[in-house]
């Protein structure tokens, strides 16, 4: 393909259609008419010698060629935006959909205030919650499939920026009035009762399991789930117990008839990290979103104080002390 014939706007249109999987929705997102978007797609189809998208009942589906293109296109657009957009955004007029990967525990803490802020002052902004396709989601950050992640383990890669944003204080939840538990949960009862736990792939991302083995405290896991959200409703209706971050348990306790107990063994401090690609460091939109999310976490009394928040650095960062972060 002759690059002299390539209009950068065609790639912007291509990315919007790919993300929306619908030409009409892409046109609305871009502030263009549908015929203009269709015309741009037609030009790009000629240049790429591929249909790129085929019509489906509810929109369009990307071809193999389009799926191969999307990563490099998003990366290139991200680099260009990062270099050109050096000023703060105007939330009232800003148009963008952010793709986030959020660990379950942080979602009820950070998203309600951020979504409230978007509703009040940034009507052109939307959030897409992405699915974890691999524990090593660095490639999704590199190709732009994910803009930002909040997750339970850091990356040690020179192009991935990792910043701890809050500590995780693990507690045990059990149904209120559990026949085996009195005012407090002792170690023998903890080891005896059946547990609801995350599947091994997710448990492996945290130190808790290793700490339990180190303390010779086996967990009798009866049920394994893929979502932290699934633990409370199962615990509420059975005699099983489960582990949750204290602040997550506090957020959902009003919805479930569960009691919170101290974990009867000391575990290593756990953290939630904010993670993004270094090419997006200067992106004003992502900087605005990161600051909004950090403010939401601090306002809930969960995050590190602003004056102790570590400077984001590529690779595994240092972690400031957070009193009371572990039991």
Domain ranges, ordered by start, for the chain: 3-81, 96-166+270-314, 168-262
Residue with the two structure tokens 């979103």: 289
pLDDT at 326: 26
Is the confidence at residue 313, as pLDDT, over 60?
Answer: no
Question: What is the radius of gyration, based on Cα positions, of the chain?
Answer: 23
What is the separation of C-alpha 232 from the centre of its chain, rounded to a whole number of angstroms?
21
Is the confidence at residue 90, as pLDDT, over 60?
Answer: yes
Torsion of CA 36, 41, 43, 47, to 10 degrees: 160
Q: How many CA atoms lie within 13 A of 15 on its CB side?
A: 19
The pLDDT of 154-181, averaged and rounded, is 88
In the structure, what pLDDT confidence band is assigned to residue 306 with cuts at 50, 70 and 90? low
pLDDT at 179: 93
pLDDT at 152: 83
Q: What angle do the packed helices 8-20 and 34-48 form, to 10 degrees?
A: 110
Does the domain spanning 168-262 belong to CATH 3.40.190.10? yes
Using one digit for the tens of pLDDT, what is the confidence trace for 225-276?
988 889 999 999 999 999 998 888 988 878 899 999 998 888 777 888 999 9
Residue with the two structure tokens 């059946």: 194
d(CA 264, CA 58): 52
Q: Are 179 and 167 in contact (CB under 8 A)?
A: no
What b/e readout covers 249-287, taking b as 16+ CB neighbours within 10 angstroms?
bbbbbeebebbebebbbebebbbbbbbbbbbbeebbbbb
In the structure, what pLDDT confidence band is assigned to residue 318 with cuts at 50, 70 and 90? very low
CATH superfamily of this structure's domain 96-166+270-314? Periplasmic binding protein-like II (3.40.190.10)
Of the listed ranges 120-129, 219-228, 317-326, the one predicted with least confidence = 317-326
Q: Which CATH architecture has domain 3-81?
A: Orthogonal Bundle (1.10)
Is the confidence at residue 320, as pLDDT, over 60?
Answer: no
What does each C-alpha distance from 69 to 53, 142, 229 come to in angstroms? 12, 14, 35
pLDDT at 230: 93
Is the confidence at residue 319, as pLDDT, over 60?
Answer: no
pLDDT above 90 coverage of the chain, percent: 41
Is the confidence at residue 117, as pLDDT, over 80?
Answer: yes
Q: Are 47 and 6 in contact (CB under 8 A)?
A: yes
Question: Which carries the bigger pLDDT value, residue 317 or residue 47?
Answer: 47
Please name every residue paired with 271 in a beta bridge, in sequence order, or none if there are none.
167
What does each C-alpha distance from 59 to 13, 54, 55, 62, 63 come to in angstroms? 15, 9, 6, 10, 13
Question: H helices within the chain, ranges in order?
Answer: 8-20, 23-30, 34-48, 64-84, 107-121, 138-142, 187-192, 200-203, 208-214, 231-236, 246-252, 284-299
pLDDT at 85: 60
Residue with the two structure tokens 């999704």: 140
d(CA 165, CA 320): 10
Is the confidence at residue 321, as pLDDT, over 90?
Answer: no
pLDDT above 70 coverage of the chain, percent: 88
> Is-same-fold flag (96-166+270-314; 168-262)?
yes
Backbone angles phi, psi at 129, to 5 degrees: -85, 120
Residue with the two structure tokens 């209120």: 176
Phi-psi region for residue 38, left (φ > 0), alpha (ψ -120 to 50) or beta? alpha
Q: Are 12 and 74 in contact (CB under 8 A)?
A: no
d(CA 199, CA 238): 19
Using one digit for the tens of pLDDT, what is the confidence trace for 187-232?
999 999 999 998 887 777 666 777 777 777 778 999 999 888 899 9
Is the confidence at residue 315, as pLDDT, over 70?
Answer: no
Q: Mean pLDDT in the chain?
A: 84
Is the confidence at residue 78, as pLDDT, over 80?
Answer: no
Using one digit for the tens of pLDDT, what is the confidence trace for 18-74?
988 899 988 988 888 999 999 999 999 999 999 999 998 888 999 999 999 988 888
């Amino acid at each position: 393909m002759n690059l002299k014939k390539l209009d950068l706007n065609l790639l912007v249109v291509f990315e919007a259609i790919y993300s929306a999987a619908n030409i009409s929705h892409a046109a609305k997102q871009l502030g263009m008419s549908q015929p203009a978007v269709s015309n741009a797609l037609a030009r790009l189809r000629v240049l790429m010698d591929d249909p790129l998208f085929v019509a489906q009942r509810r929109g369009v589906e990307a071809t193999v060629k389009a799926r191969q293109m999307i990563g490099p296109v998003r990366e290139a657009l991200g680099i260009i935006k990062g270099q050109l957009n050096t000023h703060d955004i105007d939330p009232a007029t800003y148009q963008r959909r952010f793709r986030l990967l959020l660990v379950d525990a942080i979602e009820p803490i950070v998203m309600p205030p951020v979504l409230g802020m978007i509703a009040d002052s940034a009507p052109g902004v939307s959030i897409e919650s992405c699915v974890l396709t691999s524990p090593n989601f660095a490639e999704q950050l590199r190709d732009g499939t994910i803009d930002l992640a909040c997750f339970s383990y850091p990356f040690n890669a020179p192009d991935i920026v990792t910043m701890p944003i809050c500590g995780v204080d693990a507690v045990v939840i059990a149904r209120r009035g559990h026949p085996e538990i009195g005012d407090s949960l002792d170690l023998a009862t903890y080891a005896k009762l059946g547990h609801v736990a995350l599947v091994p792939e997710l448990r492996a991302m945290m130190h808790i399991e290793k700490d339990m083995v180190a303390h010779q405290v086996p967990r009798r896991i009866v049920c394994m789930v893929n979502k932290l959200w699934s633990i409370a409703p199962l615990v509420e209706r059975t005699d099983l117990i489960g582990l949750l971050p204290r602040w997550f348990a506090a957020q959902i306790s009003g919805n479930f008839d569960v009691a919170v107990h101290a974990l009867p063994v000391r575990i290593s401090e756990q953290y939630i990290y904010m993670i993004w690609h270094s090419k997006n460091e200067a992106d004003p939109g992502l900087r605005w979103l990161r600051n909004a999310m950090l403010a939401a976490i601090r306002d809930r009394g969960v995050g590190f104080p602003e004056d102790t928040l570590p400077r984001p650095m590529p690779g595994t960062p240092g972690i400031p002390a957070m009193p009371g972060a572990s039991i």
